[in-house]
């Protein structure tokens, strides 16, 4: 059993991995007797992560931090300076590459920021974009303009706005939809799979036919990163 930990910009997500399945866990009552490895990725600092790693060390459990590499198991990073690619983006790419082999993918992680990455059917990452997330996009306007205001009860919808909160939130949504659509010509592949993750992934997935929302995409990527990294070290 593996303990998989994803430390994002604003939260820590932890799951157990056993028999190719993601399982929920209680961080206050972890089954240390059954855990063989701790695999983690860290975008931001976390005292909770430090506590968990200390507990793992006390129980003599090996810990592995996921890192971006230029290549991994047939997947190639587009960045010349690959260390500058966010580990969460790399893990989402690894998961998409593993779950949808030989398939072109557009991978969208919609959280604090919205990242869009393009992966061709040969495992070549072509690059991507980083956008403000939907909340960050709307907040930047309300904080930096005089007459634009928001309403917490107003949803994001793919419609023309007929009041200021509608116009603000719907504008953020359609801007993000437009950015995702802009990625399609880079692949020129009718069988492209669009995969969404993150807090607003489910909302965005509803805007694209035959797309997939996988809330565990980055967590799965942690497990696949470990497996691919372990295999590459054996060669």
What is the average pLDDT score of the chain? 94
Residues labelled catalytic: 88
118 is in an annotated binding site: no
Q: What are the boundaries of each domain within the chain?
A: 2-65, 71-234
162 is in an annotated binding site: no
Q: Is the pLDDT of residue 9 over 80?
A: no
The class (CATH top level) of 71-234 is: alpha beta
12 is in an annotated binding site: yes
Cβ–Cβ under 8 Å, residues 221 and 94: yes
87 is in an annotated binding site: yes
Q: Is the pLDDT of residue 151 over 90?
A: no
107 is in an annotated binding site: no
pLDDT at residue number 209 = 93
189 is in an annotated binding site: no
pLDDT at residue number 14 = 95
pLDDT at residue number 147 = 86
Under the banding of pLDDT at 50, 70 and 90, the label for residue 179 is very high
pLDDT at residue number 235 = 53
Model-level pTM?
0.93
Under the banding of pLDDT at 50, 70 and 90, the label for residue 188 is confident
Mean pLDDT within 47-53 = 94
pLDDT at residue number 234 = 63
CA distance 195 to 93: 10
pLDDT at residue number 19 = 84
pLDDT for 76-97, tens place per residue?
999 999 999 999 999 999 999 9
200 is in an annotated binding site: no
């Amino acid at each position: 059993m593996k303990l998989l930990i994803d430390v994002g910009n604003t939260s820590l997500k932890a799951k157990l991995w056993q028999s190719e399945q993601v399982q929920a866990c209680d961080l206050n009552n972890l089954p240390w007797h059954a855990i063989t490895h701790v695999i983690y990725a860290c975008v931001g600092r976390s005292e909770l992560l430090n506590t968990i790693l200390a507990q793992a060390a006390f129980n003599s459990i090996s810990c592995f931090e996921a890192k971006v590499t230029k290549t991994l198991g047939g997947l190639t990073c587009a960045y010349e300076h690959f260390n500058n690619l966010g580990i969460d983006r790399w893990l989402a790419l690894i998961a998409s590459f593993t779950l949808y082999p030989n398939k072109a993918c557009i991978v969208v992680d919609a959280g604090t920021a919205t990242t869009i990455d393009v992966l061709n059917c040969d495992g070549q990452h072509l690059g991507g974009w980083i956008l403000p997330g939907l909340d960050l996009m709307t907040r930047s306007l309300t904080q930096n303009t005089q007459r634009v205001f928001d309403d917490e009860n107003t949803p994001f919808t793919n419609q023309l706005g007929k009041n200021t909160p509608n116009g603000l939130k719907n504008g953020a949504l359609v801007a993000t939809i437009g950015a995702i659509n802009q990625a399609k010509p880079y692949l020129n592949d009718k069988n492209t799979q669009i995969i969404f993750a993150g807090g607003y992934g489910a909302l965005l997935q509803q805007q694209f036919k035959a797309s997939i929302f996988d809330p565990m995409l980055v967590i799965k990527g942690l497990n696949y990163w470990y497996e691919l990294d372990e295999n590459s070290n054996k060669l």
